[in-house]
Amino acid sequence: MNDISAPMGVQEAFDQALKQGRFLVQQCDGCHRHVYFPRELCPHCGHGSLQAVEPCGRGTVHAVTTVRRKPADGGDFNVSLIDLEEGVRMMSRVEGVTPDQVVIGMKVTARVADGIVLFDAVEAQ
């Protein structure tokens, strides 16, 4: 799906998808591992053919920080590294809870807002 063999680089292609509200990662045709961020070749095996695929959207907070910012500038906010179930890691922000409530191991789910991927905490089962 989502053949990105368009006459543009993968960054632009993924950016366009995000602007349409679609979050994509890559999967290598050679070693079948998932790749993020999008690249022109597989960083695992060097293969040059990768497919754009939609991740399931579920992830886990791997590392967390609260960036301190003056209240006048919007106040403190979260920056996290999120491990997706597909086995890739990405930087993002967990929203919907205060920054101090974001903890390592927290289950989160992806959504696209304003052209970037954000995460929300999954309610306790």
Q: Which residues in this chain contact other proteins in the complex, by CB under 8 A?
A: 11, 36-37, 62-68, 77, 79-81, 89-93, 99, 104-105, 116
CB of 79 to other proteins, least distance (A): 5
Of the pair 27, 36, the CB lying nearest other proteins is at: 36
The separation between CA 116 and the C-alpha centre of its own chain, rounded to angstroms, equals 8
CB of 124 to other proteins, least distance (A): 20
Q: E strands, the chain, where?
A: 25-28, 34-35, 50-53, 58-67, 77-84, 89-92, 94-95, 107-113, 116-121
Q: What is the DSSP string of 3-32?
A: ---SSS-HHHHHHHHHHTT---EEEETTT-
CB of 82 to other proteins, least distance (A): 9
Of the pair 2, 11, the CB lying nearest other proteins is at: 11
Of the pair 27, 92, the CB lying nearest other proteins is at: 92
Of the pair 47, 89, the CB lying nearest other proteins is at: 89
Phi, psi of 79 (to 5 degrees): -130, 130
